[in-house]
Amino acid sequence: MKRCLFFALLLGVSCQLWAFKAFKISDIRIEGLQRISAGTVFNYLPVKVGQKFNQKKSARSVRALYKTGFFKDVKFEHEATVLVIIVTERPSLANVKVIGNKSIEDELLKENFKKLGFVEGHVFNKSLLDKIEQELRRIYFSEGKYGVKIKSIVTPMPRNRVTVEITISEGRAAKIKKINLVGVTKFKIKKLLKKFTLRTPGALTFYSKKDQYSKQKLGGDLEKLRSFYHDNGYLEFRITSTQVSISPDKKEIYITVNLREGPQYRIQSIKIAGRFSISKADINDMVTFTKGGIYSRKEITSSIKKIKEHLANEGYANAHTKAVPNLNKKKNTVKITLFIDPGRRVYVRRILMIGNLRTSDLVLRRELRQMEGTWYNAKKVQRSKIRLQRLGFFTEVTVKKKAVVGSNDQIDIIFKVKEKPGGNFLASIGFSETSGVILQTSVEQDNFLGTGRKVAFSINTSDINQGYRISYVNPYYTQDGVSRGFTFGSQKTDASQANLSNYRTDVTSLNINYGIPLSEFNRLRFSVGGKKLKIITTTTSPTEVTNFVAANGAENDTIVVSLGWSHDTRNKAIFADRGVLHRITVESAVPGGDLEFYKVRYKQQRFVKVSKRFTLSLKGDLAYGEATGETTALPFYENFFAGGVKSVRGYKTNTLGPRDSRNNPIGGALKVAGSFELIFPPPFNKESKAFRVSAFLDFGNVFANADAFDENELRSSAGISMIWISPIGPLSLSFAAPIEEKPGDDTESVQFSLGGTFF
């Protein structure tokens, strides 16, 4: 039987075709298949039974099968009129493992491998592996790790499979030895280099890693340099070339930037052109650059942004504004023309909610300030997003606008939310240095049945407190946003376990409260309640406690009325980084009860965005209380306290201020406290939304009364704090050192609290 053999090799290897006599295919037989089905081969084969097979079709068939990437060898034979295809399959990937990748996360590697088809079950391709190695080297080189070594081991396995193990030895990133700026005459080089993220090794570069070369960072620094010159009038500034060289041992980097500064330009005239939907006077108020001033791209960009924002708030969602400079190179002046095209005024057709699988649309929509059927207002849309974030029901809120097909004056607004668990049955064990072991069982729903209402029942026990509480809050008792809530609870407290005087209290209380919105950022709170309290003294109770009991009785019923006002512009309910909170509360035990007194408290918290990742937090806490009527003194159990995780860290909880006759802290009627905190992302996870780190400076103390205030008695401390919103509750950890510690102070360098109580 006469046989003809056709053999081809892929990727540049010559194909050898033996001449043969054309024949009509009566059957096709495939040999050598292991994993790939015959049907798959037939799908790619350009010839079929019944067709005439010649030299041209054989060449096409070879190319088609090699092109699939499934085979590393293909042979064509024929037995009479039967076409025989003999193939050798490429092995499949059984497993891909990467070792030693510290700079590149595993998830990112897997994602990119998947995009390239280099994953388990796919055909193994050696050229693709080589490509991956080259790409990895490029990534490490861009991070300054020129000593990186990458080794791949391909291990054959049964059933025509292979495992691939990629071992990476990253090595150390090369350090920047010197940055040269050539051509600088107008500014001090030292001043320009301060604009750079990259820098030579210094005191803190071991942490910031700013002395490690990165191509991306260098590109960003060059753009900062370009912006600095353009913001100072040097419109013809150019970076002519950049050289990056590395030392022979690949440990040091030298960067040279050659530049041409050019002349400084001043503004000769300002012209406003285009269509105006707002008055020229309003536009001029938003323009921050002036005739005769130095040209500044930053000021022009800022002015354009203000104009666009103003137009967006008037319904012009797609407004276009640009500044066109006309240079006079002889006089070094520039004429600026502001072209304004507001476009068509658009209104919102629909507002869509996506992602609220459990929370009803009503809960989200009642927080919106942008309404359907009204003109688009960017400021109201942004405010709506912030209000949704502050509900505390969602881990993430995003918003985007979408054009309506077939309309040039309508858009849809889409709010996408990612829900977090609104509550559940919780049995937990917590611990704090003050309260000791805390056993807690609670059923709590912050978003009960998706209605936005909060329902909670809790039983709590610790060395200090034992009790239960039932609460209910409806944030929209009325459509106008008036809230109403009820709280009923019972609590037994052993003050001696909280670093305080030796006494115990047994309290039962009932409270009803209302919240009334006065404006977008201002709210009034009112509550009224009753409290039944019993004081239990011991033989070691101090005279301050026994004297109060003798004068006012061991059991007291009080009627407490509270009125509060708050101004809150914070952007988030948890871990805010912008906005301010002012809160004033006046609480009074009114006539009709056994005791009469009042307490006034003012709390302030301000967040200032210092940079993209750093936020400054400023806190203040001022409180005062006094007895009225026939009550002899402010009840000692109503005193204010300071010291501990929540107030002046570095000092034991509640230990600052006046002491009783047995030298135990008893608190005071006046509290003055505050803190400065620089908040920054944790080094190990800069994108974490559940972890916060800060460097702080605390100060404060409590005093017996207003007359006893002495600024020299204020205590202060400095340190580092970490807060993690863990699945079982907030974990707070601080390392603090008191400043100018005084005799008798109870200090504590490390303080932490895990879990929390409701009381």
Classify residue 373: in a domain, yes or no.
yes
Classify residue 1: in a domain, yes or no.
no
- The predicted pLDDT at position 4 comes to 40
Q: Do 706 and 583 belong to one domain?
A: yes
Name the domain boundary from 214, 229, 260: 260
- Residue 468: pLDDT over 80: yes
Where residue 429 falls among pLDDT bands split at 50, 70, 90?
very low
- Residue 678: pLDDT over 70: yes
- More confident call, 359 vs 427: 359
Q: Among 105-119, 354-368, 680-694, which is the least confidently predicted range?
A: 680-694
Give per-residue pLDDT as tens, 702-733: 999 999 999 999 999 999 998 887 665 567 88
Of 121-125, 405-409, 461-465, the range with the highest mean pLDDT is 405-409
Classify residue 656: in a domain, yes or no.
yes
Greatest Cα-to-Cα distance within the chain, rounded to the nearest angstrom: 125
How many alpha carbons lie under 13 Å from residue 724 in its C-beta half-sphere? Answer: 11
Classify residue 759: in a domain, yes or no.
no
β-partners of residue 151 are: 167
Q: How many CB atoms sit inside 10 A of residue 234's CB? A: 22
Classify residue 50: in a domain, yes or no.
yes
Q: From residue 723, how far is each of 456, 615, 645, 691, 730 by CA, in Å?
A: 24, 15, 11, 6, 7
Helix 215-231 to helix 126-142 angle, to the nearest 10 degrees?
40
Give per-residue pLDDT as tens, 597-627: 999 999 999 999 888 889 999 999 999 999 9
- More confident call, 587 vs 741: 587
Q: Do 354 and 335 belong to one domain?
A: no
Token duo for residue 54? 């010649």
Q: Do 363 and 405 belong to one domain?
A: yes
Average of per-residue pLDDT across 540-565: 93
- Residue 177: pLDDT over 50: yes
Single-letter code of the amino acid located at 79 = E
d(CA 338, CA 384): 32
* Cβ–Cβ under 8 Å, residues 47 and 57: yes
Please tell me the total count of domains within the chain. 6
Name the domain boundary from 369, 398, 419: 419
Phi, psi of 701 (to 5 degrees): -175, 170
CATH assignment at residue 492: 2.40.160.50
Q: Do 698 and 581 belong to one domain?
A: yes
Q: Do 511 and 388 belong to one domain?
A: no
d(CA 312, CA 281): 18
Average of per-residue pLDDT across 166-181: 88
Placement of tokens 């003294």 in the chain: 537
Single-letter code of the amino acid located at 648 = V
Q: Do 235 and 373 belong to one domain?
A: no
- The predicted pLDDT at position 102 comes to 82
Classify residue 390: in a domain, yes or no.
yes
Beta pairing class for 333-341 and 266-274: parallel
Q: Do 99 and 199 belong to one domain?
A: no
Average of per-residue pLDDT across 64-92: 87
Phi, psi of 383 (to 5 degrees): -65, -35
- Residue 11: pLDDT over 80: no
Identify the CA nearest to 578 among candidates 679, 498, 664, 445.
Answer: 679
- DSSP readout, 399-419? EEEEEPTT-SSEEEEEEEEEE
d(CA 119, CA 128): 11
- Residue 554: pLDDT over 80: yes
- Residue 300: pLDDT over 70: yes
Average of per-residue pLDDT across 429-435: 45
- Residue 446: pLDDT over 80: no
Q: For the whole model, what pTM was predicted? A: 0.66
- Residue 755: pLDDT over 80: no
Give per-residue pLDDT as tens, 238-252: 999 999 988 888 888
Average of per-residue pLDDT across 341-345: 89
Q: Using DSSP, state whether 465 is helix, strand or coil.
A: strand
Q: Do 500 and 637 belong to one domain?
A: yes
Single-letter code of the amino acid located at 81 = T
Where residue 430 falls among pLDDT bands split at 50, 70, 90?
very low
- DSSP readout, 342-374? -----EEEEEEEES-SSS-HHHHHTT-SS-TTS
Q: Do 226 and 320 belong to one domain?
A: no
* Cβ–Cβ under 8 Å, residues 28 and 85: yes
CATH assignment at residue 55: 3.10.20.310
Single-letter code of the amino acid located at 40 = T
- Residue 189: pLDDT over 50: yes
- More confident call, 489 vs 685: 489
- Residue 684: pLDDT over 70: no
- The predicted pLDDT at position 235 comes to 94
Question: In the chain, how many H helices and how many E strands?
Answer: 12, 35
- The predicted pLDDT at position 8 comes to 38
- The predicted pLDDT at position 618 comes to 95
- The predicted pLDDT at position 572 comes to 80
Q: Do 511 and 382 belong to one domain?
A: no
Q: Do 572 and 434 belong to one domain?
A: yes
- Residue 140: pLDDT over 90: no
- The predicted pLDDT at position 15 comes to 40
d(CA 27, CA 84): 9
Q: Do 215 and 136 belong to one domain?
A: no
Average of per-residue pLDDT across 113-126: 82
Give per-residue pLDDT as tens, 376-418: 999 999 999 999 988 888 888 999 999 999 888 999 999 999 9
Give per-residue pLDDT as tens, 402-413: 999 988 899 999
Identify the CA nearest to 521 among candidates 586, 608, 583.
Answer: 583
d(CA 58, CA 64): 10
d(CA 378, CA 512): 38
Classify residue 395: in a domain, yes or no.
yes
State the residue range of the domain holding 163: 92-169
Average pLDDT, the chain: 86
- The predicted pLDDT at position 441 comes to 62
Name the domain boundary from 89, 116, 137: 89
- The predicted pLDDT at position 19 comes to 52
